Structure 1
Amino acid sequence: REAEEMAKLKQRLVSQVWKIGIIFHSVIIGVTMGMSQNVCTIRPLVAALAFHQIFEGMGLGGCVAQAGFSFGTTAYMCFMFSVTTPMGIILGMVLFSVTGYDDSSPKALIMEGLLGSISSGILIYMALVDLIALDFFHSKLMNSNLTLKKASFVALTLGSAAMSILALWA
């Protein structure tokens, strides 16, 4: 009984940390998109945003469902997930209008690269350490079925490779 409570508490903590990472990532991507005035930059960002939001939402939804939060907490997390990117876009548009940001300057490109790498690094860390590690190393099903474990590692590798290839166009 105590082990179940600890597992649920850990799942809640993981869900909340995952949500904070997604919020940070979504705001940074939104700011980048809102500040950009180049159509060639905006098109891949829209595609990346749609792709990322789908899978971030599925991942977060799974974590929240396993954690067993109350309805109010679940509704709040869903609300925050849905408004952070638009808030980032608005913030980026405001920053652009106030600062006259030039997205083709070397400083701007360095800043966009740094912010993008920080936000993606947060998501990669949380996915590998908080989410995937639980499933791969602390699951009775994974530890008892070697074929499933091998297939899961192959799927993880292929998914990571696919995301890296997609990053070439983003």
Structure 2
Amino acid sequence: MFEGLGLGARLERTPWSPENSWVAWLFAFLFSITTPVGIAIGLGVRKTFELNSPRALITNGVFDSISAGILIYTSLVELMGGEFLHSDEFAHSSLKTVLGAYAWMALGAFLMALLGAWA
């Protein structure tokens, strides 16, 4: 859910030229069909998938690491960099406000990591 909200906010804030406005609609459409396509693939291979086979464990590890890398890149570079470095809100804010926002973001990241380790 949070990835969808973050991506939607970025798509909405990106200044698209009139001749390239279709790209935002394409990105939103592709993002919205990734989960149903993934579910369809999962349903298609559920009979042949052996949960503890070496191939399944390697595949799961590779896809988990790719997903984690994409999420780390997106959070650090795209979302956090865009909000803290290129935002009009923070450009004219005091250092206390920026550090407070950073502290809240770090607390949220810590709680999500704690939840991930617990789950």
TM-score interval, normalised by the smaller of the two chains: 0.7 to 0.9
| 1:152 Cα deviation after fit | 1.4
1:118 paired with 2:71, answer no
Q: Which amino acid aligns with 2:38?
A: G
Q: Equivalents in 2 of 1:72, 1:137: separation in Å? A: 27
Q: Which amino acid aligns with 1:129?
A: V
Q: What does residue 163 of structure 1 align with?
A: 112
Q: What does residue 145 of structure 1 align with?
A: 94
1:127 paired with 2:70, answer no
Q: Equivalents in 1 of 2:41, 2:88: separation in Å? A: 45
Q: What does residue 22 of structure 2 align with?
A: 72
| 1:73 Cα deviation after fit | 3.1
Q: Which has the higher helix share?
A: 1
- Matches of residues 78-89 of structure 1 in structure 2 within 5 Å? 78-89=28-39
Structure 1 unaligned residues grouped into runs of 5+:
1-53
Q: Which amino acid aligns with 1:161?
A: F
| 1:136 Cα deviation after fit | 1.8
- Residues 69-78 or 148-157, more deviating: 69-78
TM value normalised by structure 1: 0.58
Change (3 A) 1:78 1:138: closer
Q: Which amino acid aligns with 1:164?
A: A
Q: Equivalents in 1 of 2:29, 2:85: separation in Å? A: 32
CA deviation profile, 1:116-167 (whole Å, cap 9, x unmatched): 1211211211220122123223445425411111111111211111211221
CA deviation profile, 1:58-116 (whole Å, cap 9, x unmatched): 1111111111335533332222121111101111222334xx22112344234212211
1:95 paired with 2:45, answer yes
Q: Which amino acid aligns with 1:122?
A: I
Q: Which amino acid aligns with 1:67?
A: T
Structure 2 unaligned residues grouped into runs of 5+:
none
Q: Secondary structure at the match of 2:100?
A: helix
Give the structure, 1 or 2, with the largest relative contact order (CA under 8 Å, sep 6 or more).
Answer: 1
Q: Equivalents in 2 of 1:140, 1:73: separation in Å? A: 25
Q: Secondary structure at the match of 1:162?
A: helix
